[in-house]
Amino acid sequence: MKMFGVALLVLTAPVVEPRAVEITDVVQSRQITEIRMAPDGEHAAVLVSEPSLADNTVTSRLLVVDVGTPARARTVTTVKGVVERMTNVRWSPDGGSLAFLAPLDGADEVWTVSRWGGRPRKMFHSPAPAVRFGGVHQPFRSSNVPPHDAKVLAFEWNGTTVAFTAPKPMGTNTGDGVLHTGRNYLELVAREHDEVRNALWFHDIATGRFRHVADSVQGPLAQPGKPKMAFSPDGSRLAFVARGSQQPTDQTDRLHVVDGDRVSTVDTGAARPLDPSWSPDGTELAGVEGGQVVAIPVAGGPRRKIADLPTGVAATRAWFTGNGVTLGLRDDRHEWLTGVTTDDDLSTCDVHGGKALCVRQNASTPPRVAAVRGDRVVNGYDPNRWADDVRIQTPVPAEWTSTSGLKATGYRIVPPQCARNPCPAVVITHGYDARNEFMADRNEWSFPSQVYAARGYVVLLVNEPRTGAADTVEARRMMEAAVRSDDVDPARVAVLGYSRGARVADELMVHSTAFQVAVAGDDGTAELMPGSPAPLAQRFNGPLLQQMGPAAGVLTTRIDEYLRFGLKVPTELVVFPDETHVFHQPRHRAAAMRQNVDWVDYWLLGRRDPDPAKAAQYARWDAMVRTATVPQASTSATYSTTDTTVNISE
């Protein structure tokens, strides 16, 4: 009887259905930003970013993971703040401690902590001044870095010497005023006229002395977490990637080596350097040239072919190991390591000998740590267990052909009911970033694809065709091709674009009739800016919501005014102060998502959120319905609200 009773309890236990994904889930999804293998190859440092809506902060959590049992992880230390982040994690050569960059006392400097935890201590006091870095700040315009003060930008160490880059202000020359060149508008608005370069320094740990090595313009040596420098295996030389000249317009990366007091450029300019990776004997570094991964001899001489790259595949990293070279590779869909067969995305990898640790994810599964063992991938630490209880709709890989015959890739999310009856649709676009990754913010920005799908929209994540063209003509044709589908209602389609995708969205509403509503994120088209060199648009097909950071917000006020007063089109501009190109504040991300979901719901479906706190928002939009005029060429569509139903086409 006792066993029967237990069985009965098991059989009658309630089944908990997964709930629909919510905006809070998307905003608080955790990212794994860095992985660094320990010198023993048995452990790895893992850096996890943990956003919190409750206090509008992000916690950078430094973990140590056992490579043999990668699900086991323990916290070493954390950094928490609105703009404060931990980056550039490195192991000491003996594996006993970890070093990282963080503004623990006001500005980014190098801190160390025991691998077992404890209180971090500053490794040295940087000789450089603190300079504002990130966001809209002009001297160091890393647009996706939260704006904060920095005395150190990146570093590497070999146990006795720390190589680091620091900001080097070059002074201002404003005595005669600053000429508006047509290209320095943001500089004038921000009132930041300094020229700032990177200074490369060596710090001798034993003596405390500093030695200035070289200067370079902003570039690879000012990328948080990706410093592009590495000491040789014996610790005597430093390889680093920097721009080829001191000119701010120089965009050519070159590979350099510091050997004693001598700094030499070891590539020819034809080879594109990868993150510096030394051969075990210290004689070669890896690069890419003419569709091949090559070994570049440090002492000069012919380059040695390591591997041919298939068409459409790029190398992201190279690791010299005892068994040859392991490559990180990337195509239009995903990243992976040579010798590993998986359809998932394997990125942010680090390799030591025959072992590797990566971030594993796909379009329907959030990031987690994974160990690579031969050709097998073993799941490890999972910072996103919330997804186990949520209903995620699987994005399906897609390819479209435009009327020009060009092809582009992307993903489709089709709710089950849309297979029977056409549904409203949203197109989300940003360059080429629709990939096999889980709601990546660099593609979806603040457009939550899974939330839209849960609300009954067909979601189309569409890349541009790779034409290299500056204009958006072919991109627009591709977006139009994507919505020609039996499961899409052609009278109810919105386009949502971020950065360059915002230009595409704006210009689709100017030149196409396939879209009825648009949302533009942190950019816009000159065709809607009176006085710009572009021909001024004389029509716009429907309502536009603009969501901008402070820099783009200054420029796009002109778009808002032209649409509002010139074309009498429903439009709203929301500016988020102190934001970056990809929003870094959790509350801003959540607010932007709620706004664009509400905007599309309202104008496309006549649907509104009953939350009383949103009454003022809907009152504004109702007023727009009563006063708007839309050009005759627009698609006729009826938009219903609770107090009125209006046909917007003339």
What is the tens place of the pLDDT at every residue in 230-285?
Answer: 999 999 999 998 876 656 566 678 899 999 999 999 887 777 788 889 999 999 99
Please report which confidence band the pLDDT of residue 615 belongs to, taking 50, 70 and 90 as the band edges: very high
CA 649 vs. chain centroid, Å, equals 38
The answer on 274 and 405 residing in a single domain is: no
Rg (C-alpha) for the chain, rounded Å, is 26
Residue with tokens 């068409």: 311
CA distance 446 to 439: 10
Q: What is the pLDDT of residues 51-104, one digit of tens each?
A: 999 999 999 999 999 999 999 999 999 999 999 999 999 999 999 999 999 999
Asked if the structure places residue 42 within a domain, the reply is no
The answer on 412 and 307 residing in a single domain is: no
**Which residues neighbour 157 within 8 Å (Cβ) at sequence distance 6 or greater?**
90, 92, 99, 163, 205, 231
Q: Which residue has the higher pLDDT, 152 or 254?
A: 152
Closest CA to 165 of 215, 122, 125: 215
Asked if the structure places residue 162 within a domain, the reply is yes
Q: Which of 247, 265, 283 is the last residue of a domain?
A: 265
The answer on 299 and 257 residing in a single domain is: no
CATH number at residue 165: 2.40.128
Q: What is the pLDDT of residues 369-380, one digit of tens each?
A: 999 988 899 999
Mean pLDDT of 497-515: 96
Closest CA to 431 of 465, 404, 476: 465
**Is residue 90 within 8 Å of residue 129, measured between CB atoms?**
no
The answer on 285 and 196 residing in a single domain is: no
The answer on 259 and 316 residing in a single domain is: no
Asked if the structure places residue 68 within a domain, the reply is no
Angle between helices 500-511 and 473-482 (to 10 degrees): 80
Asked if the structure places residue 35 within a domain, the reply is no
Asked if the structure places residue 370 within a domain, the reply is no
Asked if the structure places residue 577 within a domain, the reply is yes
- Strand partners for 37: 44
Q: Which of 265, 294, 313 is the last residue of a domain?
A: 265
The answer on 244 and 289 residing in a single domain is: no
What is the phi/psi pair of residue 500, to 5°? -60, -35
The answer on 521 and 397 residing in a single domain is: yes
Angle between helices 586-600 and 615-627 (to 10 degrees): 40
Asked if the structure places residue 410 within a domain, the reply is yes
The answer on 284 and 236 residing in a single domain is: no
CA distance 252 to 254: 6
Please report which confidence band the pLDDT of residue 443 belongs to, taking 50, 70 and 90 as the band edges: confident
356: part of which helix (H) or strand (E)? strand 355-362
Tell me what pLDDT residue 218 has.
Answer: 62
* Burial class of 61 by CB neighbour count within 10 A (0 to 12, 13 to 18, 19+): buried
CA distance 389 to 511: 43
- Domain residue limits at 295: 270-332
CA distance 17 to 23: 19
Q: Which tokens is 450 given?
A: 């899974």
Tell me what pLDDT residue 571 has.
Answer: 97
The answer on 194 and 301 residing in a single domain is: no
Tell me what pLDDT residue 551 has.
Answer: 82
Lowest mean pLDDT among 215-219, 403-407, 503-507, 556-560: 215-219
CATH number at residue 425: 3.40.50.1820
The answer on 237 and 160 residing in a single domain is: yes
The answer on 195 and 318 residing in a single domain is: no
The answer on 277 and 227 residing in a single domain is: no
**pLDDT at 400 exceeding the cut of 50:** yes
- Round the average pLDDT of the chain to a whole number and report it: 89
Q: Which of 231, 249, 265 is the last residue of a domain?
A: 265
For the chain, the domain total comes to: 3
Please report which confidence band the pLDDT of residue 168 belongs to, taking 50, 70 and 90 as the band edges: confident
- The residue type of 188 is L
Asked if the structure places residue 113 within a domain, the reply is no
Tell me what pLDDT residue 135 has.
Answer: 77
